[in-house]
Chain A
Amino acid sequence: GAGVSQTPSNKVTEKGKYVELRCDPISGHTALYWYRQSLGQGPEFLIYFQGTGAADDSGLPNDRFFAVRPEGSVSTLKIQRTERGDSAVYLCASSHGQGTTEAFFGQGTRLTVV
């Protein structure tokens, strides 16, 4: 596709429920990142994939958060037992995977936990 695609664009869920957020990166990009952005703040790093493997998951806040990228393309961020504090915009980005290349971001998924 032309850019990074994230679905859904908005998700409202009840506290305690499980959610999945999907990211479809730019074709050919080996690196994929997930960030979380709360209102008025900068993006906060969650996890980074190089190919199929999670190269750095140090930003995942706790074990309720998990992400996969089984075929090295589409990624899914999974949140179990959602809490109201999980409400934020979840951003996905992809790049060619070299440190010198810029990352391209999707529009984000706005998650609201009620």
Chain B
Amino acid sequence: AQSVAQPEDQVNVAEGNPLTVKCTYSVSGNPYLFWYVQYPNRGLQFLLKYITGDNLVKGSYGFEAEFNKSQTSFHLKKPSALVSDSALYFCAVRDNNAGNMLTFGGGTRLMVKP
């Protein structure tokens, strides 16, 4: 079975500082990894994905994520946080040996303070 863990319910960071939102996963095959963001009363918006190739992937709004196979992690990062980045972030995994089901983590609330 595939699973995702987001160990932090909330991350607080000052505007202009770098941010990291953590994600670890478990799959039996090779992982396809995704990050989504959810603003209040909005649907989930796709940020970025890792399929294969470079471990560092870049996505929307200046976000990037680093795939680490040995640590089974896919942490989301941004060099300089904005207040407008405050939202709920979800990591998701799809096991390439287990069909198309996308499994989500519990989410991490990012709070960026001016």
- CB neighbours (8 Å) of A65 from chain B are none
- CB neighbours (8 Å) of A43 from chain B are 44, 90, 104
Q: How many A-B residue pairs have CB under 8 A?
A: 60
- Cα A104 to Cα B107 in complex, Å, equals 17
A50 interface residue per 8 A CB criterion:
yes
Contact of A91 among B43, B46, B51, B105 (CB under 8 A): B43
A1 interface residue per 8 A CB criterion:
no
- CB neighbours (8 Å) of A4 from chain B are 43
Does A103 contact B102, Cβ atoms closer than 8 Å? yes
- CB neighbours (8 Å) of B49 from chain A are 100, 102
Q: Point out residues on B near A: beta carbons under 8 Å.
A: 4, 6, 32, 34, 36, 42-46, 49, 51, 90, 94, 96, 99-107
Q: A35-B104, A56-B101, A104-B46 are in contact. List 19 more A-B contacts (CB 8 A).
A: A41-B106, A41-B107, A42-B4, A42-B106, A45-B103, A50-B100, A55-B99, A56-B99, A91-B44, A93-B44, A95-B100, A97-B100, A99-B96, A99-B99, A103-B46, A103-B102, A105-B43, A107-B43, A108-B43
